[in-house]
Chain A
Amino acid sequence: MRRLAVDRRALRGAAVSLLAVVLALAVSLLVIALSGAPVGDAARAMWDGVFGSPAQFGATLTKFVPLVLAAVGWVVASRAGRLNVGLEGQILAGGTTAAVVGLHLSGLPMAVHLPLAVLAGAAGGAALGGIAAWLWARRGVNDFIATLLLTLITTQIVSWLANGPMEEPTGTLGQSSPVADSARWPVLLARTTLRWDIVLVVVVVLAAAYVLRRTVVGYRLRLTGANPSAAKATGTRTRLVGVGALCTSAAVAGVAGSSLVLAAPAGNLAPGFSANYGFDGIVVALLARNNPLACIPAALLLAALRQGGGLMEARVGISSGLVTATQAVVILLVTGSAWLVERRRSRRPAATAAEQPARVTEGANS
Chain B
Amino acid sequence: MNPFDVALFAAAIRLSVPLLLAALGELISERAGVINIGLEGMMLFGAYAGFLAAYATGRVGLGLLAGIGLGLVLGAIMAFVSVTLRGDQIVVGVALNLLAAGLTLFLYRLQFGGTQPTTVKMEPYAVPLLSDIPGIGPVLFHQLPLVYLAYVLGPVVAYLLYRSRRGLRLRSAGEKPEVLDSTGVDVARVQWSAVLAAGALAGLAGAFLSVGQVGLFAENMTAGRGFLALAAVVFGQWRPYGVVAACLVFGFTDALQLRLQSMGAVPQQVWVALVALGLVIGAVGAWRARRSGSPLRWVLLGAVLCVAVGALGAALVPGFALPSQFWLSLPYVLSLVALAASARRVRAPAMLGRALPVRG
Interface residues of A (CB under 8 A from B): 31, 35, 83, 85, 135, 139-142, 144-146, 148-150, 152-153, 155-157, 159-160, 163-164, 279, 282-283, 286, 318-329, 331-332, 335-339, 345-346, 350-354, 356, 358-362
Q: A153-B332, A332-B77, A339-B86 are in contact. Are A322 and B102 (CB under 8 A)?
A: yes
Of all chain B residues, which has the CB nearest A340?
A: B85
Q: Is B339 an interface residue (CB 8 A)?
A: yes
The 4 residue pairs across chains A and B that have the minimum distance between CB atoms: A324-B102, A321-B105, A350-B360, A325-B102
Contact present for A145 and B325 (CB under 8 Å): no
Q: Is the interface of B mostly helix, strand, loop or mixed?
A: helix
Q: A141-B340, A359-B354 are in contact. Are A321 and B347 (CB under 8 A)?
A: no
What are 28 A-B interface contacts by the 8 Å CB criterion?
Answer: A83-B88, A139-B339, A141-B340, A149-B335, A150-B336, A152-B231, A152-B332, A156-B325, A156-B328, A156-B329, A163-B325, A279-B94, A321-B107, A325-B99, A325-B103, A327-B98, A328-B102, A329-B99, A331-B95, A335-B81, A335-B88, A335-B91, A336-B81, A338-B85, A338-B86, A346-B358, A352-B360, A354-B178
The residues of A that contact B353 with a CB separation of less than 8 Å are: 83, 142, 144, 360
The residues of B that contact A157 with a CB separation of less than 8 Å are: 325, 329
C-alpha gap A155/B178 in the complex (Å): 40
The residues of B that contact A83 with a CB separation of less than 8 Å are: 88, 90, 353
The residues of B that contact A152 with a CB separation of less than 8 Å are: 224, 227, 231, 329, 332
The residues of A that contact B359 with a CB separation of less than 8 Å are: 353
Contact present for B329 and A359 (CB under 8 Å): no
- Report which of B91, B325, B335, B344 forms a contact with A286, defined as CB distance below 8 A: B91
Other than the known A338-B86, A360-B354, what 15 A-B pairs have Cβ atoms closer than 8 Å?
A35-B110, A135-B336, A135-B343, A142-B353, A144-B90, A149-B336, A152-B332, A156-B326, A319-B106, A325-B106, A332-B77, A332-B81, A338-B85, A346-B358, A362-B87
Considering only CB atoms and an 8 Å cut-off, how many residues of chain B contact the other chain? 59
B354 to chain A: closest CB distance in Å? Answer: 4
Q: B38-54: which have CB < 8 Å to A?
A: none
B322 to chain A: closest CB distance in Å? Answer: 10
A39 to chain B: closest CB distance in Å? Answer: 15
Count A-B contacts at CB 8 Å. 173
Residue among B101, B325, B333 with the most chain A CB within 10 A? Answer: B325
A82 to chain B: closest CB distance in Å? Answer: 11
Contact present for B360 and A282 (CB under 8 Å): no
B273 to chain A: closest CB distance in Å? Answer: 22
The residues of A that contact B201 with a CB separation of less than 8 Å are: none
Of all chain A residues, which has the CB nearest B182?
A: A353
Contact present for A142 and B348 (CB under 8 Å): yes
Q: A85-B94, A139-B340, A331-B98 are in contact. Are A153 and B87 (CB under 8 A)?
A: no
Q: Is B10 an interface residue (CB 8 A)?
A: no
A228 to chain B: closest CB distance in Å? Answer: 12
Of all chain B residues, which has the CB nearest A134?
A: B340
B190 to chain A: closest CB distance in Å? Answer: 16
Contact present for B96 and A321 (CB under 8 Å): no
B96 to chain A: closest CB distance in Å? Answer: 7
C-alpha gap A221/B345 in the complex (Å): 29
Contact present for A135 and B92 (CB under 8 Å): no
The residues of A that contact B97 with a CB separation of less than 8 Å are: 279, 328
- Report which of A279, A322, A359 forms a contact with B355, defined as CB distance below 8 A: A359
C-alpha gap A336/B81 in the complex (Å): 5
Of all chain A residues, which has the CB nearest B346?
A: A140
The residues of B that contact A35 with a CB separation of less than 8 Å are: 110
The residues of A that contact B92 with a CB separation of less than 8 Å are: 331-332, 335
C-alpha gap A356/B175 in the complex (Å): 16
B195 to chain A: closest CB distance in Å? Answer: 15
Q: Is B207 an interface residue (CB 8 A)?
A: no
Contact present for B178 and A353 (CB under 8 Å): yes
Q: Is B35 an interface residue (CB 8 A)?
A: yes
C-alpha gap A149/B227 in the complex (Å): 8
The residues of B that contact A163 with a CB separation of less than 8 Å are: 323, 325
Contact present for A328 and B96 (CB under 8 Å): yes
A79 to chain B: closest CB distance in Å? Answer: 14
B88 to chain A: closest CB distance in Å? Answer: 6
Contact present for B339 and A319 (CB under 8 Å): no
Contact present for B360 and A144 (CB under 8 Å): no
The residues of B that contact A156 with a CB separation of less than 8 Å are: 325-326, 328-329, 332
The residues of A that contact B106 with a CB separation of less than 8 Å are: 31, 318-319, 321-322, 325
The residues of A that contact B329 with a CB separation of less than 8 Å are: 152-153, 155-157
B54 to chain A: closest CB distance in Å? Answer: 22
The residues of B that contact A335 with a CB separation of less than 8 Å are: 81-82, 85, 87-88, 91-92, 95
Residue among B80, B107, B332 with the most chain A CB within 10 A? Answer: B332
Of all chain A residues, which has the CB nearest B38?
A: A328
The residues of A that contact B293 with a CB separation of less than 8 Å are: none
Contact present for A160 and B325 (CB under 8 Å): yes
Contact present for B357 and A145 (CB under 8 Å): no
Q: Is B104 an interface residue (CB 8 A)?
A: yes
Q: Is B37 an interface residue (CB 8 A)?
A: yes
A316 to chain B: closest CB distance in Å? Answer: 12
- Report which of A85, A155, A326, A350 forms a contact with B102, defined as CB distance below 8 A: A326
Q: B205-229: which have CB < 8 Å to A?
A: 224, 227
Of all chain A residues, which has the CB nearest B344?
A: A140
B338 to chain A: closest CB distance in Å? Answer: 10
The residues of B that contact A360 with a CB separation of less than 8 Å are: 88, 353-354
Contact present for A336 and B348 (CB under 8 Å): no
Q: A321-B103, A324-B105, A325-B102 are in contact. Are A141 and B178 (CB under 8 A)?
A: no
B301 to chain A: closest CB distance in Å? Answer: 14
Of all chain B residues, which has the CB nearest A359?
A: B355
